Amino acid sequence: MPLRLMSLWSINIGAALAVVATCALAAPVSAATLNASDPEGIAEHMRELGYRAELSTDSYGDPTIKSGVAGVSFSINFYGCHDNTDCQDLQFSAGFNTPEFVTPARMNTWNHDRVIGKAHMDNEGDPFLEHPVLGVIDMGEPAFDRTVERWVSNLEDFLDYIDW
């Protein structure tokens, strides 16, 4: 084979190997993903993680999952839905009917110190903790698991913070 053809052949083979290597490196480690557009899949995965997960609908007809941890209930609400389906976002939420009014300053202190789990009060002064998760579209299970882990950890901290 002439040197020029051999060089072109080597370059083409090298380029093909580079493309194959790039594709192999870009391949996901796990093909298992979760989507807000699949509420039953989210509920099933919560069950696999050991949580109660009761799928229902909210007052707008959008999906919601009722769950709980540490003796308290929380919800996973679905947002960015089109006609109550094809949702894009989630929000973990828990509310507490406390015997004493929780001050706005106390909620502001919590929010200042935290990244996950933003606190607010309803019109009766009862505290709520919420954590939005935007863009739950082909989210890998490890990322979702970490989100749940962080939510549960912050919820348990919040229970102590409000003396629940």
Angstrom distance (rounded) from CA 28 to CA 30: 5
User: In this model, does residue 128 exceed pLDDT 60?
Assistant: yes
Angstrom distance (rounded) from CA 29 to CA 16: 22
Q: In terms of pLDDT, which residue wins out, 28 or 59?
A: 59
User: In this model, does residue 4 exceed pLDDT 90?
Assistant: no
Q: What is the pLDDT of residue 30?
A: 52
Give the predicted TM-score (pTM) of the model. Answer: 0.80
User: In this model, does residue 25 exceed pLDDT 70?
Assistant: no
Instruction: Give 34's strand partners.
Output: 139
Q: What's the chain's Rg over C-alpha atoms? A: 23
Q: What is the pLDDT of residue 9?
A: 44
Confidence of residue 64 (pLDDT cuts 50, 70, 90): very high
Q: What is the pLDDT of residue 35?
A: 98
Q: What is the pLDDT of residue 22?
A: 43
Angstrom distance (rounded) from CA 43 to CA 141: 13
CATH code for the structural domain at 31-161: 3.30.1460.70
Give the rounded percent of residues in the chain with a pLDDT score beyond 70.
Answer: 81
Summarize the confidence of residues 46-70 as an average pLDDT: 97
Q: What is the pLDDT of residue 13?
A: 46
Q: What is the pLDDT of residue 42?
A: 98
Q: What is the pLDDT of residue 18?
A: 44
Summarize the confidence of residues 121-133 as an average pLDDT: 94
Residue ranges of domains in the chain: 1-30, 31-161
